[in-house]
Amino acid sequence: MGIKVAVLGAHGRVGSAIVEAVKEAEDLDLYATVDEGSQIEDIKGADVVVDFTTPNAVMDNLKYALGEGIHAVVGTTGFTPERLEQVRSWCQESTAHALIAPNFAISAVLTMAFAKQAAQYFESAEVIEFHHPNKLDAPSGTAVHTAEAIAAARKEAGMDACPDATDQSLDGARGADVQGIKVHGVRMQGMVAHEEVIFGTQGQTLTIRQDSYDRTSFVPGVLLGVRKINEHPGLVVGLDEYLGI
Amino acid sequence: MGIKVAVLGAHGRVGSAIVEAVKEAEDLDLYATVDEGSQIEDIKGADVVVDFTTPNAVMDNLKYALGEGIHAVVGTTGFTPERLEQVRSWCQESTAHALIAPNFAISAVLTMAFAKQAAQYFESAEVIEFHHPNKLDAPSGTAVHTAEAIAAARKEAGMDACPDATDQSLDGARGADVQGIKVHGVRMQGMVAHEEVIFGTQGQTLTIRQDSYDRTSFVPGVLLGVRKINEHPGLVVGLDEYLGI
Amino acid sequence: MGIKVAVLGAHGRVGSAIVEAVKEAEDLDLYATVDEGSQIEDIKGADVVVDFTTPNAVMDNLKYALGEGIHAVVGTTGFTPERLEQVRSWCQESTAHALIAPNFAISAVLTMAFAKQAAQYFESAEVIEFHHPNKLDAPSGTAVHTAEAIAAARKEAGMDACPDATDQSLDGARGADVQGIKVHGVRMQGMVAHEEVIFGTQGQTLTIRQDSYDRTSFVPGVLLGVRKINEHPGLVVGLDEYLGI
Amino acid sequence: MGIKVAVLGAHGRVGSAIVEAVKEAEDLDLYATVDEGSQIEDIKGADVVVDFTTPNAVMDNLKYALGEGIHAVVGTTGFTPERLEQVRSWCQESTAHALIAPNFAISAVLTMAFAKQAAQYFESAEVIEFHHPNKLDAPSGTAVHTAEAIAAARKEAGMDACPDATDQSLDGARGADVQGIKVHGVRMQGMVAHEEVIFGTQGQTLTIRQDSYDRTSFVPGVLLGVRKINEHPGLVVGLDEYLGI
């Protein structure tokens, strides 16, 4: 018998990819799918529910699921500190656990974690992100978060600014400055979502690069959450703890 | 018997690397080396002279060499249109030929040539250059030239601007704008000089990347010039013709 | 009025992507689509027909199309020298032209073309290809062709073997040997189809890399063929001539 | 007052680079240099000694240094388990500590550490190493160790073999097999030493790449050892503990 998985928002782009993945996984059973036209009570009896719905719907979903003792893996956005506190208290009253993560792409989460670990050992650090040209913001939120994490690690280690003798520059040539870390955004037809972090010191560089080739790159992270949530009590925010980092 | 090569500016950083390379090449003979303390007449009898000297010295050197029927491979800077015209006329009065090139790094010259050829087939094009942090200008001159060449090829083909939906951006995130082509400059301890040109269209990208790992990357281009100059009459500017591009 | 385009094999994976692309292009009109259940005569009156069908069907299709004065852009496989000769003679009797290409991915075709051009200037050359793990052959046919093209260019230039001092090696560590050029095949979950050609000489390398991110990377090449076929009389095999290389 | 550093093997290629680096570092004082013609007693009074000498000399050096209460940072090779045990016991009798590491290139050590951490989250993993063509062994020892570490992490996590449908292959195309992990060795004129580890799962890859651009890439790791050795009691083997990994 596999883990009984219910999927909320099952008709959405993300939800349907998760439904497919659960069907294909030998250790998982697709127990219920819920979307407009069906009701949350259908998940009763599941082991884990996956919620990629909307900020409007997610809190009611979680209240019900945790109340029924069903673990919840959540990729829905819009969690304020107050909402997180509410979910935390529901977990305390329940035998069920919750995982809420803004990013389920394992390669992206590891890239940021490794960047934090490496930051203090290299004088230079820059971030380049590459996305399809329909993206509205530059740099990407992930790249900004990565740069902030590097900056924080450097600050904690008491490091100086990255060396840079530039004194003659075209506007924008050196990228955006995020707390002293330069971030460059490339917009390229054909690409999907890619991030590269480069660190340099004497005679060497270290490059950590993440490539998302299609829109299903969140699937392995969601399945990891489903499989391991029984080992992570209470509310966990972000995939890091699940990745042992 | 190999080609008899004389090196001017033989004690300089560049010149001494060329002296080494000529000594090691089986098909080349080091005929003479000239620097402060020795005189230009020492090159008499050489087949080819290599000049990496100074703008002050180079015209006298070329007048002498071409007058003696000695081919000249020149990496010295400071050639105005007037100077080029003068060298061209010396070549016409001589059996000797001249090659004057701003860049002898074959990989860099090919990168630009391939970028020009590819430009019209891809909606998106961007340039990223990477250098050691002591570099004073950003972007590098080579990257700017590459972007200009891409922009010219796109214009000739009647192409629209690169697609870019960015409407919210940190200053500099999208790089410097060189005639509509975005150019990003990375400054990284440990790196030397590297340039990457990325082209994108539906479902695919093409990347052309050049890495210089040390300061002798001009050597193969200079030797190519020495070996082939007898096949390229008159004055040739730039290594492209020698590379068949 | 745009170019009137008919698509054969319109329900297939490739054909349907071409149908989509023709619909979206402002300068192209989707004139007819043919697949099982419809008949070839529907294309009568088109300017160009695109054929991604089967070796069994393609010759009848081409006989009809060229006989009607309709240009043909063909990605169907299975063309023997005899078949090509037959198509060539049909073209001679017609005002219509034909383009038959084994590979319409522009980035892949340019990668091979640039590799050929660069080969003689670098002592070292190797090819790495990356594909999804369901691929049956290693190395990919494209990588083998690229290596053969490099080997031929080196031979024509009278070059020695690539330098390689390896005298202690695990089986397979140095890749497959294709006429003296080492080819490495990587099989990686998540990847689609990628090829990297690396050239090296003193102090520098040149890397040409092609990434296919999804299965529609042939579309821009097909549209290029449709738009330019009236400029390329007779039978043209391969996209190179259309790319000016 | 900076840390007083003595360098053994100061005239060697490695030693002289360390001498340079110590001179340039504001927080370090070059206290003594020892090589043939000078004697080990010159280091008396130093805080830390750096030993890049020979297997023949290193044990006498360590006995003296640790006996004098001088910390020792050691890159010399040839340490058997017996020798390590001996050094460990000298440390126990001393107030001084020892760091013995086979690899001081921080980027290489981090690459292996991150590869271990990431391994269990990706179905596919392969290693590509790139070196100058004078290298005698393929794959490099570092690449083999990296592959072994990945294989061990996969085994511990109970993972299946990397997916690979290849059923038709040129000899060597899929690389060397190191405990189920494919390792590819590229030999390229112009390159120095580079290693790339690629991990893949659904829709994404993670790449960790290390580039050594010159022969001084061990310097930052040695200086890190010198600066932190007073915080790491006893004998520490390998730089990992110093890097917090």
Interface contact B117-C244, CB threshold 8 A: yes
CA of A39 vs chain B CAs: smallest distance (Å): 38
- Using beta carbons and an 8 Å cutoff, which residues of C are at the interface with A? 190-192, 211, 213-214, 217
Residue ranges of alpha helices (H) inside C133-212 are: 141-156
- Using beta carbons and an 8 Å cutoff, which residues of D are at the interface with A? 21, 105-108, 110-111, 114, 117-118, 121-122, 199, 201-217, 219-220, 224, 243-245
Q: Residue B61 region, left (φ>0) first, then alpha (ψ -120 to 50), else beta?
A: alpha
**Phi, psi at D54, each rounded to 5°:** -130, 155
Nearest to B205 by CA among B140, B128, B135: B128
Binding residues of D for (S)-2,3,4,5-tetrahydrodipicolinate, by number, are: 132, 141-142
Please tell me whether B14 is known to bind a ligand.
yes
- B contacts of C13 (beta carbons < 8 Å): none
pLDDT at A40: 95
Residue with token string 């031929």: C152
Asked if A42 and A80 sit in the same domain, the reply is: yes
Measured CA to CA, the distance from residue B25 to residue D237 in angstroms comes to: 45
Measured CA to CA, the distance from residue D53 to residue C37 in angstroms comes to: 81
Catalytic annotation, pick one of D4, D71, D97, D131: D131
HSE at residue C224, side-chain half, CA atoms within 13 A, is: 26
pLDDT at A1: 74
Residues C4-43 have pLDDT tens digits of 999 999 999 999 999 999 999 999 999 999 998 889 999 9
**Phi, psi at C139, each rounded to 5°:** -75, 170
Closest CB to D118: pick one of A110, A202, A206.
Answer: A110
Measured CA to CA, the distance from residue C45 to residue D33 in angstroms comes to: 88
Asked if A10 and A55 sit in the same domain, the reply is: yes
Under the banding of pLDDT at 50, 70 and 90, the label for residue A101 is very high
Asked if C70 and C136 sit in the same domain, the reply is: no
- B contacts of A200 (beta carbons < 8 Å): 188-191
Exposed, middle or buried: residue D134 (CB in 10 Å: 0-12, 13-18, 19+)? Answer: exposed
* Under 8 Å between Cβ of D228 and D104: no
SS3 at position B141: helix
Asked if C79 and C10 sit in the same domain, the reply is: yes
Asked if B15 and B64 sit in the same domain, the reply is: yes
* Under 8 Å between Cβ of A39 and A64: no
- A contacts of B202 (beta carbons < 8 Å): 189-190
Closest CB to D134: pick one of C144, C165, C172.
Answer: C165
CA of A67 vs chain D CAs: smallest distance (Å): 31
Interface contact B198-A188, CB threshold 8 A: yes
The DSSP string of A103-166 is: ---HHHHHHHHHHHHHGGG-SEEEEEEEE-TT--EES-HHHHHHHHHHHHHHHHTT--PPP---
* Under 8 Å between Cβ of C46 and C66: no
Written as six digits, the tokens of D196 are 């790339």
pLDDT at D215: 84
The answer to whether residue B95 scores a pLDDT higher than 80 is yes
The total domain count for chain D is 2
Measured CA to CA, the distance from residue B70 to residue B7 in angstroms comes to: 12
Closest CB to B219: pick one of C121, C199, C202.
Answer: C202
Q: Exposure pattern of A158-186 as b/e (b: 16+ CB <10 Å)?
A: ebeebebebeebbebbbbbebebbbbbbb
Asked if D12 and D31 sit in the same domain, the reply is: yes
Domain at D53, CATH number: 3.40.50.720
SS3 at position D130: strand
Angle between helices B106-118 and C106-118 (to 10 degrees): 150
Residues B168-196 have pLDDT tens digits of 999 999 999 999 999 999 999 999 999 99
- Using beta carbons and an 8 Å cutoff, which residues of C are at the interface with B? 21, 105-108, 110-111, 114, 117-118, 121-122, 199, 201-217, 219-220, 224, 243-245
Written as six digits, the tokens of D180 are 């189920």
The predicted model gives D36-55 an average pLDDT of: 95
- B contacts of D192 (beta carbons < 8 Å): 213
The answer to whether residue C1 scores a pLDDT higher than 80 is no
Sheet holding B71-74, edge to edge: B28-34, B3-8, B48-51, B71-74, B98-100, B235-237
Which of B162, B174, B198 would you mutate first to test chain A, the one with the most A CBs within 10 A?
Answer: B174
Interface contact A117-D244, CB threshold 8 A: yes
Domain at C150, CATH number: 3.30.360.10
Q: B182 an active-site residue?
A: no
CA of C108 vs chain B CAs: smallest distance (Å): 8
The whole domain housing B182 covers: 106-213
Residues C119-158 have pLDDT tens digits of 999 999 999 999 999 999 999 999 999 999 999 999 999 9
Which of D120, D194, D206 would you mutate first to test chain A, the one with the most A CBs within 10 A?
Answer: D206
The predicted model gives B118-129 an average pLDDT of: 98
Residues D192-225 have pLDDT tens digits of 999 999 999 999 999 999 999 998 999 999 999 9
DSSP H helix total and E strand total for chain A: 6, 13
Residue with token string 């009691």: D233
The answer to whether residue D30 scores a pLDDT higher than 90 is yes
Which contiguous run of DSSP H or E holds residue C80?
none
Share of chain A above pLDDT 70, in %: 100
Residue type, B177: D
Exposed, middle or buried: residue A59 (CB in 10 Å: 0-12, 13-18, 19+)? Answer: middle
Please tell me whether B2 is known to bind a ligand.
no
Interface contact D168-C204, CB threshold 8 A: no
CA of B211 vs chain D CAs: smallest distance (Å): 9
* Under 8 Å between Cβ of C73 and C225: yes
Written as six digits, the tokens of C88 are 């060539």
Interface contact C107-B21, CB threshold 8 A: no
Please tell me whether A142 is known to bind a ligand.
yes
Interface contact B211-C201, CB threshold 8 A: no
Residues A114-172 have pLDDT tens digits of 999 999 999 999 999 999 999 999 999 999 999 999 999 999 999 999 999 999 999 99
**Pairing label, strands B28-34, B98-100:** unpaired
Closest CB to B133: pick one of A124, A191, A204.
Answer: A124
Angle between helices A55-67 and A81-92 (to 10 degrees): 10
Written as six digits, the tokens of C238 are 């391969």
**pTM for this model (two decimals):** 0.95
Asked if C37 and C55 sit in the same domain, the reply is: yes
The answer to whether residue A10 scores a pLDDT higher than 80 is yes
Asked if A95 and A117 sit in the same domain, the reply is: no
- A contacts of B169 (beta carbons < 8 Å): 137-139, 176, 185
**Pairing label, strands B176-178, B181-187:** antiparallel
Residue ranges of alpha helices (H) inside chain C are: 13-24, 55-67, 81-92, 106-118, 141-156, 219-228
Average pLDDT across chain D, whole number? 97
Please tell me whether B54 is known to bind a ligand.
no
Asked if D66 and D42 sit in the same domain, the reply is: yes
> Alpha carbon of A122 to those of A151, A198, A203, D17, D28: distances in Å?
12, 10, 11, 18, 18
ipTM reported for the complex surpasses 0.90: yes
pLDDT at B86: 98
Residues A29-70 have pLDDT tens digits of 999 999 988 899 999 999 999 999 999 999 999 999 999 999
Closest CB to D220: pick one of A105, A202, A245.
Answer: A202
Written as six digits, the tokens of A205 are 């560089």
Under the banding of pLDDT at 50, 70 and 90, the label for residue A89 is very high
Interface contact C209-B212, CB threshold 8 A: no
Asked if C171 and C230 sit in the same domain, the reply is: no
Residue with token string 């006893």: D234
Distance from first CA to last CA of chain B, Å, rounded? 30
Q: B131 an active-site residue?
A: yes
Measured CA to CA, the distance from residue D51 to residue D73 in angstroms comes to: 6
Asked if B110 and B65 sit in the same domain, the reply is: no
Provide the 10 A C-beta neighbour count for residue D132.
17
Residue ranges of alpha helices (H) inside chain A are: 13-24, 55-67, 81-92, 106-118, 141-156, 219-228
Share of chain D above pLDDT 90, in %: 96
The predicted model gives C48-69 an average pLDDT of: 97
Any idea of the CA torsion for C30, C34, C35, C39, to the nearest 10 degrees? Answer: 170
- C-alpha C149 chain-centroid distance: 15
Those residues whose C-beta lies under 8 Å from the C-beta of residue D226, and which sit 6 or more positions away, are: D3, D5, D22, D28, D48, D50, D73
Asked if A85 and A123 sit in the same domain, the reply is: no
Residues D110-157 have pLDDT tens digits of 999 999 999 999 999 999 999 999 999 999 999 999 999 999 999 999
Which of C106, C110, C213, C218 would you mutate first to test chain A, the one with the most A CBs within 10 A?
Answer: C213
- B contacts of D191 (beta carbons < 8 Å): 213
Which of C148, C179, C187 would you mutate first to test chain D, the one with the most D CBs within 10 A?
Answer: C187
**Pairing label, strands A137-138, B168-169:** parallel
